[in-house]
Structure 1
């Protein structure tokens, strides 16, 4: 929970909670099964088998590491880590929802059919939401 400038406690948005969970996975995102579990746990993919490649896992870890680099207030962000994460984001296709769903973390929706990339696109949408609101500045690792 965070507080406003008046000291009133506020609850993080669903997008901020998703990003906080994603960046704090650490060693819990070490293989394809871990990624599948995370995506299912956060309802970022449909139920059922998810074929996850090593490249998918690498993209997820790269994206997570880039976000962590920005959110880690103790050190300056590593430009190489940010550059690799940006390439992952650049490769994810999202679209803007005309009428966002009630539970949507972001007005951005995945525009890809691959389940894993759809899940990563939803994380990208949540990242866009916390950037747009400035909420990313209040996220702590």
Structure 2
């Protein structure tokens, strides 16, 4: 019998993002996900098609990397595209993270969608640093 692994808040966020599959099918679904996970402020979130495509690229690349960690073949082009999304997100390190922060990395952008994606990127950086990403089952 194995003991279930309790995921950190950062790992739980990443896992929730990558396993959305068909439930994250359009811009309204992305806005709902971001509000439910407190990645953005409450209220209207204007999400462009480019924002949505960027979020899906990031999600698919993280999913591919987690599958690769579990020993499955991965599409390196999908992972490379996700890396380009991460490269374009601006984050900064906080000396003292705010309450409820999943990472010491914080968004350094004002656009709501990119702030949400930057928070996911911060969570990804946290689980990479701790090695917890290898424990996430997708």
Pairwise CA distance, 1:56:
0.5
Q: Distance in 1 between matches of 2:84 and 2:131?
A: 22
Pairwise CA distance, 1:101:
2.1
Structure 1 partner of 2:99: 102
Alignment of 1:1-141 (within 5 A): 10-72=5-67, 73-141=70-138
Give aligned pairs, total.
Answer: 135
Q: Distance in 1 between matches of 2:113 and 2:99?
A: 23
Runs (5+) with no aligned partner, structure 1: 1-6
Q: Distance in 2 between matches of 1:8 and 1:25?
A: 25
Deviation digits for residues 100-122 of structure 1 (CA, Å, limit 9, x no counterpart): 12321000000000000000000
